A and B are shown apart, each in its own frame.
Chain A
């Protein structure tokens, strides 16, 4: 944009009305920029697909949306399972290598232990009035959270674009995620 002062001879080439219109236009631009600046943005990258690791990104995303923030959750690798229509309601907790489990690894490694640990956690979640994964997905989407499924890992995992919940964004990659991250006030890797 030129900041040159127009020559004096052209001084009256802009009428007062034109100047007024120009000022209003600039004021509008400033107001738009301010509004853009006020709305916080958050990007979460969700890489894990276990039952416990599905909660933090969804809880933060749905709450951030309640603040009126612009939120993107980019799901990649095992994080894709959170958005998978058949798998999201059936995510498992790992009993092995989890020091928070009240059982030794040797026992946790027995067949069916992951399932049992998951059932126990599901019961606790239900008793506590905590939402299910599917409820949080629906809540997030309803509030305008953009849940993105990484295209490269969709293909890597041999999933189909139709396998995901309705309104999940597919056909996006790292560049799309980075673009939103660059503009975000908050970026989290889960």
Chain B
């Protein structure tokens, strides 16, 4: 699962709710180099749909995987061109 990616950085937004998971993810991605993967840890159940929608509608990012671990939602976002 997550071990498949070389994670450049982990963003912990546990406890924060909409719109923070998306906005903080965007800010963290901005600071990464192209090709890097960001891991996002969230407790907001809306983050599953929100981060998926954001990644779909945003240039320069690709959603690699989302994992629902029950108490925490993990998102893996790659910065592309």
Task: Give A43 to B42 CA distance when docked, in angstroms.
Answer: 29
Tell whether, in the assembled complex, residue A66 and residue B19 are in contact, meaning their CB atoms are under 8 Å apart: yes
Q: Chain B: how many interface residues by the 8 Å CB criterion?
A: 17
- A117 in the interface (beta carbon within 8 A): no
Q: Which residues of A contact B (CB under 8 A)?
A: 38, 59, 62-63, 65-68, 128-131, 136, 139, 143
Contact A66 B59 (CB under 8 A): no
Q: Mark B36-78, 1 if CB is under 8 A from A, else 0.
A: 0000000110000000001001110000000000000000000
Please give, as numbers and ranges, the residues of chain B lying within 8 Å of A128 by CB-CB distance. Answer: 17
Chain B 11-55, CB-CB to A under 8 Å as 1, else 0, gives 000011111101101110000000000000001100000000010
**CB pair B17 A130 closer than 8 Å:** yes
Inter-subunit contact B57/A129 (CB<8 Å): no
CB pair A63 B19 closer than 8 Å:
yes
A87 to B15: give the CA distance in the assembly, Å: 27
The answer to whether B58 touches A68, judged by C-beta atoms less than 8 angstroms apart, is yes
B43's nearest neighbour on chain A, judged by CB, is A129
Q: A63-B19, A129-B15 are in contact. List 11 more A-B contacts (CB 8 A).
A: A66-B58, A67-B58, A68-B58, A128-B17, A129-B20, A129-B44, A130-B17, A131-B16, A139-B23, A143-B26, A143-B27
User: In the complex, what distance in Å separates the CA atom of A59 from the CA atom of B21?
Assistant: 12
- Chain B residues with CB under 8 Å of A63's CB are 18-19, 22-23, 54
- Distance in Å: Cβ of A41 to nearest Cβ of chain B: 14
B58 to chain A, nearest CB (A): 5
Residues of B within 8 A of A130 (CB): 17-18
Bound: A38/B58 CA distance, A: 10
Least Cβ–Cβ distance between A113 and chain B, in angstroms:
27
Smallest distance from the beta carbon of B28 to chain A beta carbons, Å?
11
- Chain A residue at smallest Cβ distance from B58: A67
Contact in complex: A67, B57 (CB < 8 Å): yes
> Does the CB pair B59–A68 fall under 8 Å?
yes
- Within the assembled complex, what's the spacing in Å between the Cα atoms of A129 and B19? 10
How long is the Cα–Cα vector from A139 to B23 in the complex, in angstroms? 8
> 27 interchain pairs (CB within 8 A)?
A38-B59, A62-B19, A62-B23, A63-B18, A63-B19, A63-B22, A63-B23, A63-B54, A65-B23, A65-B26, A66-B19, A66-B22, A66-B23, A66-B25, A66-B27, A67-B54, A67-B57, A68-B58, A128-B17, A129-B15, A129-B16, A129-B43, A130-B18, A131-B16, A131-B19, A131-B20, A143-B26
